[in-house]
Structure 1
Amino acid sequence: MKNVRKEVLEAIKPSKKEKGQLQKSITATLKKLNGSLKRAKAIIGGSGAKGTFLKNQKDADIFVLYEKEFSHNHNISDELEKTIKSLFPIYQRIHGSRDYFQVKNDVLFEFVPIIKIRRPSEAENITDISPLHSAWVLKHASEKQKDDIRLLKAFCKANHIYGAESHIKGFSGYVCEILIIHYGSFEKTLRSASAWKEKTVIDPAKYYKRKNVFMAMNASKIQAPLIIVDPVQESRNAAAALSADCFHAFKDQAKKLQKKPSASFFRQKDMTKESIIRIAKNKPVFIVKANLLDGKDDIVGSKALKVFTFLKAELERGGFVLLESQHQFQGSAFMMWFILEADPIPASFIHKGPPLSLPKHVAVFKKRYPSAKPVNGILQVAVKRKFPRAGDLFKKSISSPYNKDKVKQIQQIHIA
């Protein structure tokens, strides 16, 4: 692993020159912004503030801190827009729980208005806590651990499980930082992750040393397969957005990397028709690619994900057993594939009805299915399938009006 670590860090760690250029651009922008702000102060946030960003990172978060008293009488997004508009001729207002702004020059800057707080309980929006996250990471992460954080981020990115956005539901940058600091290193994180069970609890600040997190934390925060208690906010699960698919993908890839260390685990690989067919191993496989709509990644990604969920549900409702169903975002495209147990399937299936002990329900069932007969005290009937061949069902599902406003178009890559 030592040689792999060295090779990967050379590829993902920014050079002193790159760090200097990014810092120069950030410093100039902060100076420009702070020179015009009257009731707020701009600071660097995100991985730029923590020193955990990757090579070729061309974006930076700028947090604009407003005093709490001022925010009570003013819309701080509107206030920030006045300043942004006066300084940058071209900008974009991004709508969210609290609107923020994007300006693209040599670096894509995101200007996020937040309330200046001292403790998490004062926050009115999750972004208000971000400077506290940065402070915690800076306080606890050594320089070596910052490299470990980079390794973990690159590992997650390569396996398409990086980011807490709703269309990804993976590991956020902050979660990667917490994991490395908690376990001590990248290698120890891999070893520990390989043994994770669903509902594993990670509590770096030991808030729940003497109490049950599942009894104390809000139920909505503990639905995810992994509970990472935010070290600066004990009521929050930092991994609340994590999906079961990303959780298990992380575990599986961690095991594989430890078994056979290779830099290839850190290189992002887009799935192709050929690679998916190899995975299918002669099983029926259906592959489609959709072009994403224009717009904010989180929104267009969520819409595309609905198409995937719809196609998967249609196959399952049609009686087909899915061995694997996966998707992958590839720039402006969205690849989906479905591997089936069998195709075609029997032209009819046995539909079970109510037990004979429920006469009212029996009457309704027999009215709908006159040929139904009792088997072991339960009504059953053979029902003819509309689509015994998955290809016919799949083509119909792809052209469904449901998909029209969610992606630009869907292209059939492979149906067999």
Structure 2
Amino acid sequence: RMDQGEKKLSSVDRTPLHTEYVKSKLNLEGKDEVRKLKLFMKYIGVYGADARISGFSGYICELLIINMGDFHRTIEAFAAMRGKLVIGDPENTESFDSPAIVIDPTDKTRNAAAAISVENLSRMKLCSRLYLNGKMPEYVQSNGQRKDAKDRGTNLRVFRIKKPDIMDDILYPQVMRFKNAIWEIMERNDLRPVSWEVCVKDHIDVIIESENKAVPALKIHQGPPVDEPSSLDFYNKWINMKISRGPYILGDRIYVDLIRQQKSIGDVVREGLKKVNIGKNIDDQKEAMEIFDPYDTGKDSCALDLFLSKFIFRAHPPEKTSRNTRSS
């Protein structure tokens, strides 16, 4: 039999220890409070610690009730919370840098809440405040009507690659690396990305909204402050170069204006991704990546549906008792 804190544990090893700990701390009423909390989290879309959700696990729900007392106190705690969720002795919590830190009582070196994203922690805080103020919607469901993003005055591109047949917990971190790589490439090239969404079904779709649809011809290149000795090096480097304007001074810095080749979003992203490994299971799909404007082409994308319906609450039919979970 393995004892608590005996050695570094695998998830399989931890399960019986978690079960034993929870049984020792929760009576029947406590278990009912856990069910209420899970139901609330499912309703707002933050329940599930897998990589696809990045939310609250069942074990975290149990630890929250054990530490807070009941469902209502837990909701009050999230409603009043500022910054990180932290449960545990400072000597154990200080070594972690995550949005949520809940020290596993069966393994003091483990943050049981490591899977929780800052977005889902934020969603839990706001929804707790809405709940306490009686502002939670009775029914959260998409009305099935497709909105139009054309009036936003921005550009939408879907980046689609083939989905490998692997587990979600292995796939989703690579999908997010894929999205992050595209976002960073677009930022570096002044395409000014502003929003994104990801969807994984038959294939992997990443949709990114940007202010620019091509690399701007003009690039304002900022040099060092004039007070710095390197300002002279900057001047000497650019004075005889083919540039649009400058060198010139604005405020306390030296600048030059450059003219560069205009490239489309697709060209820039394809070129940039050649230098990035997006994950061992999907990196070989980069060359076959499809890039399209969903409006110009008329092609459908589940990522576009998610993008257009983005809301605090994730659309789903709630369970009947979800509005009756408040304990006295």
2:31 is the alignment partner of 1:146? yes
Q: Does the C-alpha gap of structure 1 residues 232 and 196 become closer, same or farther in structure 2, counting only changes over 3 Å?
A: same
Q: Which has the higher contact order (CA 8 A, sep 6+)?
A: 2
SS in 2 for 1:338: strand
Are residues 339 and 121 of structure 1, via their aligned partners in 2, closer, same or farther at CA, if it must alter by over 3 Å? same
Which of 260, 277, 283 matches 2:135? Answer: 260
* Residues 214 and 265 in structure 2, CA contact (< 8 A), matched pair in contact too: no
Rounded Cα–Cα distance in structure 1 between residues aligned with 2:202 and 2:30: 33
Q: Which residue of 1 aligns with 2:317?
A: none
Q: Which residue of 2 aligns with 1:412?
A: 292
Query: What RMSD, in angstroms, separates the aligned Cα atoms of the two structures?
Result: 3.8
Change (3 A) 1:340 1:201: same
Aligned mate of 1:274, from 121, 124, 146: 146
Instruction: Report the alpha carbon displacement of residue 413 of structure 1 after superposing the two structures with TM.
Output: 5.7
Pair 1:123–1:341, CA change in 2 (3 A): same
Q: 1:323 to 1:377 in 2, by over 3 A?
A: closer
In the TM superposition, what is the alpha-carbon distance from 1:300 to its structure 2 partner? Answer: 1.7
Give, in whole Å, the separation in 2 of the partners of 1:327 and 1:318.
22
State the SS of the aligned residue for 1:303.
helix
Q: 1:365 to 1:252 in 2, by over 3 A?
A: farther
Amino acid in structure 1 at the alignment position of 2:224: P
CA contact (8 A) 1:120 1:233 kept: yes
Distance 1:311 1:394 in 2: 10
* TM-score w.r.t. length of structure 1: 0.55
Q: Where does residue 241 of structure 1 map in the other structure?
A: 115
1:196-252 residue CA offsets vs partner (Å, 9 max, x unmatched): 22234224xxxx3xxxx1xx2375x42112222223333432213333233223333
- Matched residue type, 2:292: Q
Query: For residue 384 of structure 1, what is the amino acid of its counterpart?
Result: I
Match of 2:6 among 102, 121, 130: 121
Query: Secondary structure of the residue that 1:350 maps to in structure 2?
Result: strand
Consecutive unaligned residues of structure 2, counting only runs of 5 or more, are 297-328
1:135 equivalent among 15, 20, 39: 20
State the partner residue of 1:38.
none
Partner Cα separation in structure 1 for residue 233 and residue 66 of structure 2 = 64
Gaps of at least 5 residues in structure 1 are 1-115
Give me the whole-angstrom Cα distance separating, in 1, the residues matched to 2:189 and 2:53: 27
- More helix by proportion, 1 or 2? 1
Q: Cα deviations across residues 362-385 of structure 1 (Å, max 9, x unaligned)?
A: 325642574422334421112336
Higher alpha-carbon deviation: 340-349 or 303-312:
340-349
Equivalences for residues 164-243 of structure 1 within 5 A = 164-166=49-51, 168-203=53-88, 208=89, 213=90, 216-217=91-92, 221-243=95-117
The answer to whether the 8 Å contact 1:283/1:339 transfers is: no
Identity %: 23
Q: Distance in 2 between matches of 1:365 and 1:159?
A: 56
CA–CA distance in 2 between the matches of 1:297 and 1:162? 16
- Residue 157 to residue 386, structure 1, CA distance change in 2 (3 Å): farther
CA distance in 2, matches of 1:272, 1:383: 47
- In structure 2, relative to structure 1, the CA distance for the partners of 1:232 and 1:353 (3 Å cut) is same
Deviations, residues 26-85 of structure 1 (Å, cap 9, x unaligned) = xxxxxxxxxxxxxxxxxxxxxxxxxxxxxxxxxxxxxxxxxxxxxxxxxxxxxxxxxxxx
* One-letter amino acid matched to 1:405: D
Q: CA deviation at 1:344?
A: 7.3
Name the SS for the 1:312 alignment partner: helix
Contact 1:354-1:362 within 8 A present in 2 as well? no
The reply to whether residue 393 of structure 1 matches residue 268 of structure 2 is no
- TM-score, L = length of structure 2: 0.67
Aligned partner of 1:383 among 258, 261, 264: 258
Q: Assess, with a 3 A threshold, how the Cα gap between structure 1 residues 412 and 152 changes in structure 2: closer, same or farther.
A: farther
AA at the equivalent of 2:237:
K
Change in 2 beyond 3 A, CA 1:382/1:394: same
Matched residue, 2:301:
none
Rounded Cα–Cα distance in structure 1 between residues aligned with 2:120 and 2:8 = 29
Residues 381 and 148 from structure 1, CA distance in 2 versus in 1: closer, same or farther, beyond 3 angstroms? farther
User: Cα distance, 1:153 vs. partner?
Assistant: 3.8
> Aligned partners of 1:296 and 1:336: how far apart in 2?
19
- Of the structure 1 ranges 253-262 and 171-180, higher mean CA displacement relative to structure 2 is found in 253-262
Assess, with a 3 A threshold, how the Cα gap between structure 1 residues 364 and 165 changes in structure 2: closer, same or farther.
farther
